Structure 1
Amino acid sequence: MYKRAHGIIETLSPLHVGAAAGEESGNLNLIFRDQFTQTGIIPASSLRGRFRADMRQCFDDEAQGNAQVNYWYGEAADSERSNVNNESIVKFEHASIIWFPVFSPGQPMVWVSSPRLLKRYKRITEMTQEVPEPYTGSRKLRTREARGQRTLFFNIGFLTIDNGITNLSAWFLNGEELPAVIVDDADIGMIHDMALYRQSRVRLKEDQKVVDDNGFFNTEALPEGTILVFPIALRKTDATWNPFNGKRKAEMYLGGLESIGFGYCELTLKGV
């Protein structure tokens, strides 16, 4: 009934997709997180909205553009038109992390993932490779050997590469292997929080260089170089879905804080 496809996102600048913050988080603008791994995600609604907006800009006739957008991405339900099919042709799921970069002295970046994240990537892309065991490193990873053990240094301490070095090129886009390590699902959340990009920001009064009331806040974002994947389902139809004017790779902004350079990404579509 549905054709399967997927998209790969690589962040070219910090990416902030905000989550509602309660009193317990103070003035920290949090990002959306997966409930199990506590790693950042991009909600499907954000992806769908970005695709809708980009398609609408491809048409000079506003009415024609709106009709095409509603056809592919659905329209709001209307109780007075209950006999109309509002289902979208294109369906998205949230984007989850495959790899995210962490600072490591001497490298200076190591891409980190975990079995749960790689299993979702494998399911979406229909890969046949077995997911590597935790604490496995790529061939480009620089480690120190001492007493027969390979160790990797992060700011939080040493990480032991218990399961050795292996070829991880199949788990990277276009087979480009990077310095990488796979850690346990129980550890990925802590390392992810260590790697997040954080920035303190203030809102000044219009007539003075003084912080406005409640105008001081902190923002967190996925760092530049994060790689994410999201599945796409295409309902069978005679028409052809051509996002980005038929291109399969595009640069776009996702999330918030675009005006200060956040959210710049490269998106690649596969299987469309």
Structure 2
Amino acid sequence: MYKKAYGIIETLAPLHVGATAGEETGNLNLIFRDQFTQTGIIPGSSIRGRFRAEMRQFLGETDTNQWYGSEAEMGKPDSTSESFVKFEYASIVWLPVFCPGQPMVWVTCPRLLKRYQRIAGISNPIPAVYTGSKTLNALNINGKNTLFFNFGFLTIDKTEDLKPWFPNGQELPGVVVGDDEISMIHDMALYRQSRVALDKKEKKVSKGAFFNTEALPEETFLVFAIAIRPTTQTWEPFMGDEEAEVYLGGLESIGFGHCKITLKGVK
């Protein structure tokens, strides 16, 4: 029987975890997405690799291999070992979106909240679609609370206390939208940046050196599940602390990937 725990990721800078496409698709650096909601995710392998690197820095390779498994060695059969800690992918809980007059509104949907509910063990019923938080500052138009986004407007049917659904314990201005609407809002909220590489001899762009990058915006909240095999030792990935600031994904050299990870239920 595995011990259940989970982690909360709060992005402190734009977060890019994905792949780079070739020139035939316009050099698009796209993030990984969930296949159903089409919202950004962080694969479990990326989280495991970051945790492994953090432990290797302080405790060395032997202790690291014990917790995260030994890598395969060429010419040595059965050189791999099972890890004591398993990581699921991280999915979005709340995504910040620009909204005139707010200026930010955090958006989610029932499917994303359902996964968070399962992982975090929340007993509250999932809020209905078009439910807003008590801290939401919507405009009253014809007797209805209304939010305006770049794509149009959204009517809030009711407001309630959504504090239990915010991982940081603060009830931010938030709204629950439909599962069929979250992908459109998600694409509108993504951080996008165009980058170029200049020619070494002239002030012009090198051939094929134009890149478009997308990333999850800062102040996005994500959740991932952790399973720990029974052992007499205690897993302490952050040297006894329950939270740490780390870098995830790529493009760290230009300021991407700065995150705060908080562990729940590990001890």
Q: TM-score, normalised by structure 2?
A: 0.95
Partner of 1:62: none
Partner of 2:81: 86
Instruction: Give per-residue Cα distances to partners, 1:69-116, cap 9 Å, x unaligned.
Output: 11100123467433x661100000100000010000110000000000
For the residue of structure 2 that corresponds to 1:178, the secondary structure is coil
- Does residue 207 (structure 1) correspond to residue 232 (structure 2)? The answer is no
Matches for 1:55-66 after TM superposition, within 5 Å = 55-59=55-59, 65-66=60-61
2:110–2:128 Cα contact (<8 Å) kept: yes
Give the Å deviation of 1:143: 1.1
Q: Which has the higher helix share?
A: 1
Give the Å deviation of 1:207: 2.9
Partner of 2:161: 167
- Does residue 96 (structure 1) correspond to residue 79 (structure 2)? The answer is no
CA distance in 1, matches of 2:217, 2:70: 34
Give the Å deviation of 1:9: 0.5
CA distance in 1, matches of 2:58, 2:109: 39
CA distance in 2, matches of 1:267, 1:175: 15
2:138–2:146 Cα contact (<8 Å) kept: yes
2:20–2:28 Cα contact (<8 Å) kept: no
1:217 to 211, 218, 225: 211
For the residue of structure 1 that corresponds to 2:145, the secondary structure is strand
Give the Å deviation of 1:161: 1.1
CA distance in 2, matches of 1:100, 1:66: 37
Partner of 1:36: 36
Instruction: Give per-residue Cα distances to partners, 1:178-198, cap 9 Å, x unaligned.
Output: 000000000000000000000
Matches for 1:1-272 after TM superposition, within 5 Å = 1-21=1-21, 25-59=25-59, 65-77=60-72, 80-82=76-78, 86-162=81-157, 164-272=158-266
Give the Å deviation of 1:23: 6.6
CA distance in 2, matches of 1:155, 1:51: 38
For the residue of structure 2 that corresponds to 1:269, the secondary structure is strand
CA distance in 2, matches of 1:171, 1:3: 23
Report how many residues are paired. Answer: 265
Give the Å deviation of 1:19: 2.6
2:69–2:83 Cα contact (<8 Å) kept: yes
Instruction: Give per-residue Cα distances to partners, 1:219-246, cap 9 Å, x unaligned.
Output: 0000011000000000001111111111
For the residue of structure 1 that corresponds to 2:31, the secondary structure is coil
Q: In structure 2, do the counterparts of structure 1 residues 174 and 101 end up closer, same or farther at CA, with 3 Å as the change threshold?
A: closer
CA distance in 2, matches of 1:233, 1:142: 39
Deviates further, 24-33 or 105-114: 24-33
Give the Å deviation of 1:38: 0.4
Task: Structure 1: state its 5+ residue gaps.
Answer: 60-64
Task: Structure 2: state its 5+ residue gaps.
Answer: none
Give the Å deviation of 1:28: 1.4
For the residue of structure 1 that corresponds to 2:183, the secondary structure is helix
For the residue of structure 2 that corresponds to 1:244, the secondary structure is coil
Q: TM-score, normalised by structure 1?
A: 0.94
CA distance in 1, matches of 2:50, 2:103: 33
2:134–2:173 Cα contact (<8 Å) kept: yes
